Structure 1
């Protein structure tokens, strides 16, 4: 009756919004046997009126929760109490059993006096490898960056950007405006250099009007490299693929607008660096709030909305080694074989990212969203060890390892198999941290942090991807955009700055510098060729060229010129006089060298030369 009364009142709340087509529908009674079914059908119809035209603006909720501390639940408590009541003898058992009868030993399998386990021996040392070694013991920032952003990537962007410029140019009345011309490699690199400058100055979200301001408040380097119109025009025209075939390619590849340069960039990252003994697998969220069908909502991330990139990084240097963009269901298992695609999605993700390092005995550290006994055993077969937190709902976990109100702070419980070690640690009252490791096979305690060795190792290696994400955010090139391929490209620039800095520090004879100084050097080297070209271009205003000369160290000083200089060999037309006069002169400007008549010149004493 209570349910019927509730439904009856709910029916009258919706009556004004629903058109009652059936005769007698307003004469329902509470004791009608079909009352509940009729009202539930009406409620269902009313709540199901949702527009279908939202595919590009939909947002996928992420269930990735990396909270490592597990709370005590009522079910855990009741099961623990029942197990205690049913225990007839208090003799200690040598084994623990999970809900699925998975067997854990109380005693260790390995002797404490044995040497380093074979699965923990790394034969490949971290450092430089591949094409980047051609530079020897030292390399400039731009040379290193060009190894990651190769000429192939630059040319790919160049081709499709110029095609977009051609299509945009016809929308303007005056087609001869300078900012509408096609871009070349030198200018494209200078555009990337300005984006790196905006990252150093933390001006990536600053309005272009303030960056290019001429009242002394703007950034001088921006106006010297290109005009504001040209800067905004090039960013709006940046393209990374053939738009004519994009629709066809998107049927099999949702990431078609950016996939080619993304894949090539990741391959370049793999080729030029050898990882350390431990790597981290986790997700990275690229902030984006525009229209995209695989946009994610992750509430525990600072950006909350964005594009998810699954990453494998070096746990120490935070070098990005492998990554892929999550584009919806069934994209985690791409590049995997048929048997590997049968495993869970988190397992597929780790297998896909770890493929390049399989067989190297490195360790993989992940959070509890990925962790499972299935994954640990699979990686063990592929000669990779594993350390990660576990969720308490795994059926292999014994009841004694779950959070318990009776457990004291600091309580530690171990379980062993031949290849695995399970740890339960109580950091706070009513909480427990569960970890699984195939790297550790003995009990150990870290006296420095007063925690078990497995937890200490996990805490030291779990933040590889988060640290990379933080570095990308501190010096970010990302500007506000509604185009998700451009948001991904900005993040590639950020990652390239982090990776190239790691590579820079790996050279023996390179000068030590902070990351901010490194980014300034990289940005200047990228824009210097364009500055040289503009400095020689007499069509550009003298004020701009004078500023470029000062930046390049080529500005002329009046003190360096003699007080009396020989006249021109032949009379030439004054540069300043109106064309109608055609006034000839034998004098020239001391700074620019242009012919100038006495009427258009001003005398200055030698004491004022430097002022």
Structure 2
């Protein structure tokens, strides 16, 4: 299984049009390294029958204990705690949604026209702003059955993803889908501060900011209540911000502090998605849960690369050691020299590839089995070689078939 995962990592590095091309005898397509690890038949069979859980006892859709992610739940529960155990992120965290590309049939598939990947499975993520390290995630399954969301979906997503980092003086950055005055006030109660764009018509925004009609670039209106600062700023277009961690006023560039801070630290999730897109793991198919499985494997590899960069202080890796080389080293360690390619003695291998003078004709005795009319194929092959050595090439048939 480790060799199977390693090969999927390697296949993501060198992508060919079809999966069968990696075992092709055509030099333009074939990959001798991949074919030396697992045979095509073995790889295809593992890929066909791979499962993470026994689904025979899965609760039905009408069962109160139904879990939409039953097939990958054990993998999610294994990875989530480790993301927080192995690495302690910095002060600034960003929250945003990502997409796992999937065009098949599943009831929680989403369509987001503004995203590069428009069709797929939506994943809420919280990442370190500077590096893109994923600290937590949550796969979106659609509306709740009971439909109870007291403060809205954006509030619940940010609160659940950041709950581990409450009371640690963290700064959260998110876009206007998640922002609300209620969320900013509640997070401030647990010593967690926010900065993000917000829709101007959200409840709690001052009327001066809500109804502002700024015409010239650089115009600014700000209103403050405690640490909560609402900002309307005209750049190429008018933008509204809400912040509890950025001071009012402008910085040395003439922009509001909240705008500069937001632009600098909002892209943590985008950095993660960018690094994951370089070398995607796994191949396309029809089963939705496999897309989640390979996405998690890919995300964990990116996280490991980020931790590796931050933990290695001495110049142990050679100069120029990058993300690509790191992935190949991970694949090599997973395989640990494993190979399933065996050179078996068959009808046209050992006996036919060696010179006749070096062939042994005694290692396989001719044995007649009672009840059988023909001897085995190996016996037939060796018998022909024996006759050739003893009597030379066969004579032409004196009675040709007309």
TM-score by length of 1: 0.54
Q: Which residue does the alignment assign to 1:288?
A: 102
Residue 488 (structure 1) aligned with residue 301 (structure 2): no
Instruction: Give ranges in structure 1 of 5+ residues lacking alignment.
Output: 1-187, 545-570, 584-611
Q: Distance between the aligned counterparts of 2:289 and 2:146, measured in 1?
A: 19
Q: Distance between the aligned counterparts of 1:451 and 1:352, measured in 2?
A: 32
Cα RMSD of the aligned pairs, angstroms, is: 3.0
- How far the C-alpha of 1:491 sits from its partner, in A, is 0.4
Conserved? CA contact 1:446–1:452, under 8 Å:
no
Q: Distance between the aligned counterparts of 1:402 and 1:414, measured in 2?
A: 11
Q: Which residue does the alignment assign to 1:208?
A: 19
Q: Which residue does the alignment assign to 1:314?
A: 128
Conserved? CA contact 1:364–1:385, under 8 Å:
yes
- How far the C-alpha of 1:403 sits from its partner, in A, is 6.9
- How far the C-alpha of 1:291 sits from its partner, in A, is 1.1
- How far the C-alpha of 1:442 sits from its partner, in A, is 3.8
Residue 274 (structure 1) aligned with residue 82 (structure 2): no
Conserved? CA contact 1:285–1:309, under 8 Å:
yes
Q: Distance between the aligned counterparts of 1:234 and 1:437, measured in 2?
A: 51
The total of aligned residue pairs comes to 356
Q: Which residue does the alignment assign to 1:254?
A: 68
Q: Which residue does the alignment assign to 2:338?
A: 530
Conserved? CA contact 2:248–2:257, under 8 Å:
no
Q: Which residue does the alignment assign to 2:47?
A: 235
Residue 407 (structure 1) aligned with residue 215 (structure 2): yes
Instruction: Give ranges in structure 2 of 5+ residues lacking alignment.
Output: 350-359, 365-377, 387-402
Are residues 312 and 202 of structure 1, via their aligned partners in 2, closer, same or farther at CA, if it must alter by over 3 Å? same
Q: Distance between the aligned counterparts of 2:34 and 2:69, measured in 1?
A: 32
Residue 501 (structure 1) aligned with residue 305 (structure 2): yes
- How far the C-alpha of 1:397 sits from its partner, in A, is 2.5
Q: Which residue does the alignment assign to 1:441?
A: 247
Q: Which residue does the alignment assign to 2:373?
A: none
Conserved? CA contact 2:170–2:193, under 8 Å:
yes
After superposition, give the CA deviation of every residue in 1:449-475 in whole Å (9 maximum; x if it has no partner). x42221111011111112211221121
Are residues 406 and 369 of structure 1, via their aligned partners in 2, closer, same or farther at CA, if it must alter by over 3 Å? closer
Q: Which residue does the alignment assign to 1:468?
A: 272
- How far the C-alpha of 1:478 sits from its partner, in A, is 3.6
Conserved? CA contact 1:277–1:362, under 8 Å:
yes
Q: Distance between the aligned counterparts of 2:196 and 2:44, measured in 1?
A: 46
Conserved? CA contact 2:214–2:234, under 8 Å:
no
Conserved? CA contact 1:281–1:312, under 8 Å:
yes
Residue 539 (structure 1) aligned with residue 344 (structure 2): yes
- How far the C-alpha of 1:385 sits from its partner, in A, is 0.7
Q: Distance between the aligned counterparts of 2:52 and 2:142, measured in 1?
A: 21
- Residue 70 of structure 2 aligns to a residue whose secondary structure is coil
Higher relative contact order (CA 8 A, sep 6+): 1
After superposition, give the CA deviation of every residue in 1:9-63 in whole Å (9 maximum; x if it has no partner). xxxxxxxxxxxxxxxxxxxxxxxxxxxxxxxxxxxxxxxxxxxxxxxxxxxxxxx
Question: Which entry has the higher C-alpha Rg, 1 or 2?
Answer: 1
Q: Distance between the aligned counterparts of 1:498 and 1:390, measured in 2?
A: 31
After superposition, give the CA deviation of every residue in 1:220-242 in whole Å (9 maximum; x if it has no partner). 11110112222222112111111
Conserved? CA contact 2:246–2:261, under 8 Å:
no
After superposition, give the CA deviation of every residue in 1:338-384 in whole Å (9 maximum; x if it has no partner). 9xx53222101111101111111111100000000100011111111
- How far the C-alpha of 1:253 sits from its partner, in A, is 1.1
Conserved? CA contact 2:3–2:334, under 8 Å:
yes
Q: Once structures 1 and 2 are overlaid, which stretch shifts more, 240-249 or 400-409?
A: 400-409
Query: Where in structure 1 do 4 or more consecutive aligned residues deviate above 6 Å?
Result: 574-577
Residue 265 (structure 1) aligned with residue 76 (structure 2): no
After superposition, give the CA deviation of every residue in 1:59-83 in whole Å (9 maximum; x if it has no partner). xxxxxxxxxxxxxxxxxxxxxxxxx
- Residue 25 of structure 2 aligns to a residue whose secondary structure is coil
